[in-house]
């Protein structure tokens, strides 16, 4: 996720013409976005930089020169111990914090005022503090935190089962940590040698009682991996209502397992020697 935020930031900033040697702005200020923040924050950053780059002096010259691509940074790249005697603008979750050094010259407060005008124009909520009043160990702690949706150190899977989700220690929000080419289960990627198994029980439409044992179909093996007659959920409506027969239906669910108990055919009835009917 950190690489994604940084990549988006670089793409957005690449639309500007940068010439590091012509700019003075990076000598006394920096702009940052949170490493795991939303992509919309990088758009705010790019709009702020665009506004700064258009500012001119009374003689028509660029006030801050052509701003370098290194001007925008991730929070993790900003040393919290070097906030004095400079201006630091931080953006997270659509809000901004401007930190001015406690020993900064008047020109830094003038620059802060210019940033405030830009933020107001962009309708970005903001607050201003002196570096001596920061009082946190991590920059992200300067922003209001919403109710945490996960516990630090926990892992899960996204709704599609494609990514491992990790809980951000600070914000308590899930973020995509790893893509799983073979799917995600219980907060980790499924190993390539795991099997995707269809479980099926035949039930009576009228009574919902089982008329078969639990049938297992290893979908990567059975019929060469080309079996398609499954839904991984109850098929009551399909078999009892829509087809008009009202006799039996399939109760189905799917999961992964490390063990193939059905052998090379890829299908069997759990606890029964013969293969049953599929």
Q: Three-state secondary structure along 244-268?
A: CCCCEEEEEEEEEECCCCCHHHCEE
pLDDT of residue 147: 73
Q: How far apart are CA 164 and CA 154, in angstroms?
A: 11
pTM over 0.85: no
Mean pLDDT of 88-113: 94
The predicted structure's pLDDT at residue 20: 40
In this model, does residue 113 exceed pLDDT 70? Answer: yes
What lies within 8 Å, CB to CB, of 75 at 6+ separation is 32, 33, 34, 35, 90, 92, 138, 139, 140
33-66 pLDDT, tens digit per residue, is 998 888 899 999 999 999 998 888 888 888 887 7
Whether 3 shows a pLDDT value over 70: the answer reads: no
Torsion of CA 142, 143, 145, 146, to 10 degrees: 180
Average per-residue pLDDT for the chain:
85
Q: Which two tokens stand for residue 176?
A: 């995509």
Mean pLDDT value across residues 221-236: 90
Contact 60, 24 (CB under 8 A): no
> pLDDT tens digits, residue range 7-29?
545 444 444 444 444 457 888 89
**What pLDDT is stored for residue 202 in this prediction?**
94
């Amino acid at each position: 996720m950190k690489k994604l935020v940084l990549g988006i930031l670089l793409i957005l900033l690449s639309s500007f013409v940068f010439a590091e040697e012509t700019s003075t702005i990076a000598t006394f200020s920096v702009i940052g976005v949170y490493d795991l923040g939303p992509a919309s924050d990088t758009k705010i950053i790019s709009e702020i930089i665009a506004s700064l780059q258009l500012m001119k002096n009374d003689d028509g010259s660029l006030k801050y020169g052509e701003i370098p691509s290194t001007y925008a940074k991730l929070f993790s790249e900003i040393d919290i111990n070097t906030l004095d005697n400079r201006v630091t603008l931080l953006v997270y979750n659509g809000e901004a914090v401007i930190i001015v050094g406690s020993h900064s010259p008047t020109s830094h407060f003038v620059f802060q005022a210019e940033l405030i005008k830009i933020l107001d124009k962009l309708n970005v909520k903001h607050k201003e503090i002196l570096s001596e009043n920061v009082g946190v160990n991590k920059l992200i702690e300067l922003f209001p935190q919403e109710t945490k949706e996960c516990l630090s150190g926990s892992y899960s899977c996204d709704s599609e089962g494609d990514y491992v989700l990790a809980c951000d220690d600070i914000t308590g929000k899930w973020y995509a940590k790893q893509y799983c080419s073979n799917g995600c289960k219980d907060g980790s990627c499924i190993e390539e040698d795991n099997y995707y198994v269809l479980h099926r029980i035949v039930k009576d439409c009228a009574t919902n009682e089982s008329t078969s044992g639990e049938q297992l179909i290893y979908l990567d093996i059975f019929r060469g991996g080309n079996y398609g007659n499954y839904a991984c959920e109850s098929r009551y409506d399909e078999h009892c209502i829509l087809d008009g027969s009202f006799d039996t239906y399939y109760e189905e669910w799917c999961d992964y397992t490390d063990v193939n108990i059905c052998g090379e055919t890829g299908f069997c009835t759990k606890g029964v020697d013969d293969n049953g009917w599929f």
